[in-house]
Amino acid sequence: MSDALEIACLGRLLENGAIKLVARNGQLIARWHTARWIEPSPRKDEWRARADALSQIEGRMSVLAPSWREDFDFIRSMAADPFDPRVLEALPMFRRLGTITGLVNRRNWNAAAGLGPKHVPQVASTATLTRDWIVRFRPNHGLRALFGGQELNLYEMASLLTECALPERLWLSFRAFTGTAPTTVITCENLGAYVDLPLPPNVMAVFSPGSDIEAAAALLKALPDTRWVHFGDIDPDGLEIAEHLGRETGRTVQFYVPVFAEEYLPGRPTETPWREIPDRPIFHELKRTQKRIFHEVFMLDSRLSDDLVEITKPGGVHCY
């Protein structure tokens, strides 16, 4: 049994005058009852401190945690629970965390404040936490952006580097897009389609890999008035990814299917059963046959470039 558990239970007993019997404190309750420190309360499974034993309880607490009152006050100032043994075990780390500000990776904070990178943090953050995603996009001609007080020519950057890749820590200083805004933003589910998509000059492409949509969603939210089209695999997972992006950004999904896509039927077997589908022949056929079409198969079709021009016109076709 850890000292942290006993300190937490003693603290509850001293501050509240009573403690509930639960599985993890059963041995302590039995020991304290034998020592005549506690007695049954009228409430079910509750034990209260005996008035004539308070000095002994205080003495035991002073041995285990001489500064427990100050420690409990500090823990509460960090919006944490001093009756949680995990918090007490991490108290030295919490004292260090109280001085940390600026940008900190979320997993690093959780490791220090939650006893592991995948644990829920036990204290509120005093820093700005990041996931450190990178938003990858191919900007349209003439697009620039303000980051803090500096303007970057995104189109020129992509002309040199083939694309823009902006880390979340830079994105946190994003102020606004400037220059020429895109008429349409196309999110692409798979990398091959994203890098080879034959973009019209007024269109932006954004890489949105599978269910990892946070970076793409951040960019879409920065262009709330720009038309959005999703280009993904024509399968149940592809539709769900598009719906996920739509929910996250508060937009109506427009899912792009090339006008010549039916020539690529019957497609490949699907891994996920079809559910609700758009009312279009290609979706009905794929659902009937339990097949799917990977959107990379369209990339080397010479008709794709002209088809993309058509969908970016006002009232563009091929999208549901």
DSSP state of 232: -
- Identify the band that residue 121 occupies on the pLDDT scale cut at 50, 70 and 90: low
Q: Please count the CA atoms within 13 angstroms of the CA of 217 that sit on its side-chain side.
A: 18
Q: Which of 16, 34, 66 is the last residue of a domain?
A: 66
CA–CA gap between residue 51 and residue 293 (Å, rounded):
75
CA–CA gap between residue 219 and residue 171 (Å, rounded):
9
Q: What is the mean pLDDT of the chain?
A: 90
**Looking at the predicted structure, is the pLDDT value of residue 293 above 80?**
yes
pLDDT at 2 (0 to 100): 74
CA–CA gap between residue 5 and residue 78 (Å, rounded):
20
pLDDT in tens, 179-233: 999 999 999 999 999 999 999 999 999 999 988 999 999 999 999 999 999 999 9
Asked if the structure places residue 265 within a domain, the reply is yes
Q: Are residues 163 and 273 in the same domain?
A: yes
* Beta bridge pairs of residue 230: 187, 255
Q: Which of 66, 89, 115 is the last residue of a domain?
A: 66
Q: Are residues 61 and 145 in the same domain?
A: no
CA–CA gap between residue 255 and residue 229 (Å, rounded):
6
pLDDT in tens, 18-68: 999 999 999 999 999 999 999 999 999 999 999 999 999 999 999 999 999
Q: Can you list the pairs that 5-10 forms with residues at least 24 positions away whose Cβ atoms lie under 8 Å?
A: 5/85, 6/64, 7/61, 7/64, 7/65, 7/68, 7/85, 7/88, 8/82, 8/83, 8/84, 8/85, 8/88, 9/83, 10/57, 10/60, 10/61, 10/64, 10/68
pLDDT at 86 (0 to 100): 85
Q: Are residues 199 and 298 in the same domain?
A: yes
Q: Are residues 139 and 62 in the same domain?
A: no
Angle subtended by helix axes 68-77 and 54-64, to nearest 10:
70
pLDDT at 208 (0 to 100): 96
The residue range of the domain holding 8 is: 1-66
Q: Are residues 144 and 274 in the same domain?
A: yes
- Identify the band that residue 78 occupies on the pLDDT scale cut at 50, 70 and 90: confident
Tell me how many domains the chain contains.
Answer: 2
Q: Positive or negative CA dihedral for 261, 263, 266, 268?
A: negative
Asked if the structure places residue 106 within a domain, the reply is no
Asked if the structure places residue 238 within a domain, the reply is yes
CATH of the domain at 221: 3.40.1360.10
Q: Contact at 8 Å (CB) between 182 and 140? A: yes
